[in-house]
Amino acid sequence: MARKTKSSGGGDDQPAWLITFSDLMTLLLTFFVLLVSMSVIDERNKLVVLGSVSSSFGIGEQNFNPKSIEKKSSKVEPGAMMEPDMTPIKDMLWEDMRDDLNFQENRFVQILSINADVLYEPGQSALSERGKQLLNRILPHLLTIKYPLLVAGHTADRRDEEGKSYQVDFDTAKVDSTWPLSLARGFGVYHYLIQNGIPGDRLSQEAFGAYHPRYPNRSPEGRLLNRRVDIVLDKRNDPERLAVERSVPKPADQPKSFFFRNFQFDLDSAPGSPARRND
């Protein structure tokens, strides 16, 4: 009698452990789905994240944290540069703008650099007609800015500024001649802006001589661009914020003097006054 052959079924070829593994994966998936469905968003953490994001754009308090027990005084950093600022000046069309004007900005600061050859005739400290026309075009925009403006004068190196009259000077105590030259260049613009309506409390002036070059002085083009007057707008100099900082009273219990190695130093005395020895 012949032996019967077993029919090969589809399910008989699978290993037995695969069924147990499938059941385990199904149970784990159900467990994690149950955890997610039972989770609750912490509203306090959500507010912390939203406050951090909004403060980075200059909106709201910088270190807002609803978890904190005591409310800390937060110093809000200014946000991105907002109108009115000097952006319309950058968008204006100028003749040969690459050589005459240079505009640089970041989140807080905008710098409009005007070439000194545009503002002054060679060897002159009075504004030229071309320089006055240029300043008259940007004046309407400067008058709308509420932030203080800085007028900074710059020069190239002394050899380039003095030309044929340049002589090597080894006297280190002598004031570099580029200082008064940069002061005169900045003052011409400063005085013209004051005369044309910009309040004096919103303007300040600095002179840097040849010590803040923007381009290398090794080439004639670099020295030409370094002879400039900068109009600087710094949003961190908000007049309202500066007024609040100045209004903070100073502690009244500061010591009037202190002792160091048997010497008494009076803090209220004039600078340079000698200290008294206490034996």
pLDDT at 73 exceeding the cut of 50 = no
Least confident of 25-34, 40-49, 60-69, 207-216: 60-69
**Residue 15 in this model has a pLDDT that exceeds 60:** yes
84: preceding bond cis by omega (within 30 degrees)? yes
Buried b or exposed e, range 99-116, using 16+ CB within 10 angstroms: ebbbeeeeeeebbbbbbb
Q: Report the side by side order of strands in the sheet with 276-277.
A: 257-260, 263-266, 276-277
Which residue would you say has higher pLDDT here, 48 or 199?
Answer: 199
pTM: 0.57
Helix (H) or strand (E) holding 91: helix 87-91
Residues in the chain: 279
- pLDDT at position 47, please? 67
The amino acid at residue 45 is N
